[in-house]
Structures are given as structure tokens and as C-alpha cells.
Amino acid sequence: MYDFFYNTDIGLVILTVAEALALLVPLLIGVAYLTYAERKVLAAMQLRKGPNVVGPFGLFQPFADAIKMVTKETIIPSGANRALFLMAPMLTFMLAMLAWAVVPVNDGWVSADINVGILYLFAISSLGVYGIIIAGWASNSKYAFLGAMRSAAQMVSYEVSMGFVLVTVLLCVGSLNLSDIVRAQRHMWFCIPLFPMFIIFFISALAETNRSPFDLPEGESEIVAGFFVEYSSMSFGLFFLGEYANMILMSGMTAILFLGGWMGPFGLWPQLGVLWFILKICALLFVFLWVRATFPRYRYDQLMRLGWKVFLPFSLIWLVLTAGALMAFGWLPNA
């Protein structure tokens, strides 16, 4: 059996598909319940009840929403570029799924343990902007295009400081492999020595996923719904799923880079493994929702100022400081 799965081509293909399903099915269920959690958390913070009609405590609400979305009519505007219009949501959703190939959920539990895992994640997350730009352009609508332009500028801006944060972490690890990054935190999670970087990374993650208070690309009060204003039914649904899957991905990335991935605090209960990882993702997702319920939306020039004039110089200086400290005290890994 072992021989069949690991040493024949067909076995390897079956194994890979099984691994992908084992990762993606829980992920999609997580996405479904994240939408439910968002509505419940926001409701609780605004002293409302939230969805409570479909099923016990409204627990079947995500499925009701999904069925509604699938059964509605897909409307394609007559002036739209059909092929690109339909490609954009698929691209967004696909990229959100694709990135999970390298995420280690437990020690050794990763479908592709590649050497440049963190670069792969960074590459995939930097592609997310295409879905939005293409959607905005192909819709042939001014609101959609305005949203797309905002989002392109925003995502490119915040990627720069995010890159510096990643480099700082990599300096402390000495490897681009995600499992190695987690293992390097067995004595201390990076959120303690690199606390400012942790905060910058998390805020950049908010901007990168177009979440409130940086949800200018969809700003419903100014540009209706931004880049997906022309989308309906499942093509809208894919954007929606993609955004929430990206939130989970970014939380996972934060957990891996700064919160010790699958490891418990102080090495507690190492056998829990994947549950620790999920717990950390849930905690970070709660902060995503908390921020949405708390902060008003940024104005566009404030957003750009924060990215370029605050985060970029700060992360650059912190990078130099980290490198200097590692060098001065001889803490460089692999040296």
C-alpha cells in the first residue's frame, strides 16, 4: 500500500488529490462559518441578534446563503468583456485556494514542503490584485473601475512594507521554508521580539485583504460596491468566498510567522498540533471582525500616508536594527 502511494505515478496523483481535499474541504467549511461568525460577532458588538432563523442559532444560514447564490441568475452587463468578466472571480477564488498548498498545519503536515514556501505565499498573495483589476475593467462600469484602481494602488503599497516584515522574520530564521520558520520559534514566538513587525504585518494584512478599515475598493457609501458592483449570483459568490478565504490565509500566515504556527504557548500540549494552529487562526479572525466593528473607514490619502510614510520607513528601520542586533550579538542562524 505504502509502495503504491509513494512510488507509482498514479498513487502519487491520488495522494496529492486526497491531501488537497483534506485541506480544502475544511477550509471551505471554515469560510462558510466565517461569514456566519462575522454576522454573529458584529451583531453581538452592535447589540443585535444576528442570523438566528435558519436552523438552531442560525447555524444553517451559510448553507441557505450558498443555495441562494447558486440558484440566482448570472447577469453579464452588455458592455462587459465576457471572458475576462467571468475569469476574474474564478481567478480570485483559485488564488485563495492555491496558496494553501505550502501552509504547514502541523509538524510535517504540509502538501508541498518547498524550500521557498514563504516566497510562494508572497507571490500568490501579490497576484490577488489581478482578480480585482480585471473585474473592475471587464465590468465596463465607472464604479467598478474606480474600485479596481483604488485596490491596485492599495495592495501594491502595502505589499512593500509586508515584504520588509517578511525579510525581518527571515533574518531571524535563516530559511525560507515555512516549517523551518515555525520550528525556529520553539523557544520564543516571534511576536515578542518582533512585536512592532507583528502589528505592522497584521494591519498590512487587513489592507491586503481589503478589509475594514481599509475596504476602500468596495466602499459602499462612495462607489456603491466597488469592483464587484456588476457581479451577481455565483460570480459574486466566488469573490465573496475568495475574500474570506484570503482572510483565513492571512491569519494563518500571521500565525506561522509570529505566533508559532502549530506550537502551543510555552510548549504546552504539543500533541494538540493542528488544533493550536486553528485556534490561533480563529483568534486572529476574531480581531479582523473586531476591527471591522470598531473602526471607521480610512480616507484614501490617509491610507496611502499610513502605508508609505509610516509603515515603510518604520519597517525598514526595524529591519536594519534587527540585522544589526543579530550581527552584533552573534545570533545569526546558520552562522
Partner 1 sequence: MITAILFYIFAGILLASAAMVVSSRNPVHSVLFLILAFFNAAALFLIAGAEFLAMILVIVYVGAVAVLFLFVVMMLDVDFAELRSGFQRYLPVGATVGVVLLLELAIVLGGWELAPGAVQLRMSPTPVGMSNTEAIGRILYTDYIFQFQTAGLILLVAMIGAIVLTLRDRKTSRHQNIRHQTERTVAETLQLVSVKLGAGTTASGGILRPIVAEPEPVEEEADAGGHGHGH
Stretch that binds partner 1, among 128-136, 210-218, 246-254, 289-297 (CB under 8 A): 128-136
Query: Using the rule CB under 8 A, is 116 a contact of partner 1?
Result: yes
Q: Does 149 bind partner 1 (CB under 8 A)?
A: yes
Q: Which stretch binds partner 1 (CB under 8 A): 42-50, 131-139, 192-200, 229-237?
A: 131-139
Which one of the spans 46-54, 103-111, 113-121, 254-262 is the region binding partner 1 (CB under 8 A)?
113-121
With contacts defined by CB under 8 A, name the span among 60-68, 116-124, 205-213, 254-262 that binds partner 1.
116-124
Taking the complex as a whole, how short is the minimal distance between the CB of residue 171 and partner 1, in angstroms?
12
Check residue 158 for interaction with partner 1 (CB under 8 A): no
The yes or no reply on residue 122 touching partner 1 (CB under 8 A) is yes
- Interaction between residue 126 and partner 1 (CB under 8 A): yes
Q: Which of 15, 24, 167, 176 binds partner 1 (CB under 8 A)?
A: 176
- The residue assigned the cell 456566519 is 36
The residue within the footprint of partner 1, chosen from 34, 41, 86, 129 (CB under 8 A), is 129
Phi, psi of 111 (to 5 degrees): -75, -35
Asked whether position 178 contacts partner 1 by CB under 8 A, the answer is: no
Complex with partner 1: residue 153 or 224, whichever CB lies closer: 153
Q: Are 206 and 291 in contact (CB under 8 A)?
A: yes
Q: Which of 38, 159, 208, 215 binds partner 1 (CB under 8 A)?
A: 159
With CB under 8 A as the contact rule, the residue among 32, 152, 323, 326 that binds partner 1 is 152
* Site for partner 1 contains 94 (CB under 8 A): no
Binding status of residue 301 toward partner 1 by CB under 8 A: yes
Q: How many residues bind partner 1 (CB under 8 A)?
A: 25
- Does 134 bind partner 1 (CB under 8 A)? Our answer is yes
CA distance 221 to 295: 15
Judged by CB under 8 A, does residue 13 bind partner 1? no
Residue from 93, 137, 164, 236 touching partner 1 (CB under 8 A): that is 137
Q: Indicate whether 225 belongs to the interface with partner 1 (CB under 8 A).
A: no
Nearest to 154 by CA among 105, 210, 82, 108: 210
Tracing cell 520553539 back to the chain, one arrives at 186
Which residues are bridge partners to 106 per DSSP?
109
Binding part of the chain for partner 1, among 53-61, 144-152, 213-221, 269-277 by CB under 8 A, reads 144-152
Please tell me whether residue 164 binds partner 1 under the rule CB under 8 A. no
Rounded CA separation 274/54 (Å): 30
Residue ranges in contact with partner 1 by CB under 8 A: 9, 84, 114-116, 119-120, 122-123, 126-127, 129-130, 133-134, 137, 145, 149, 152, 156, 159, 176, 301-302, 305
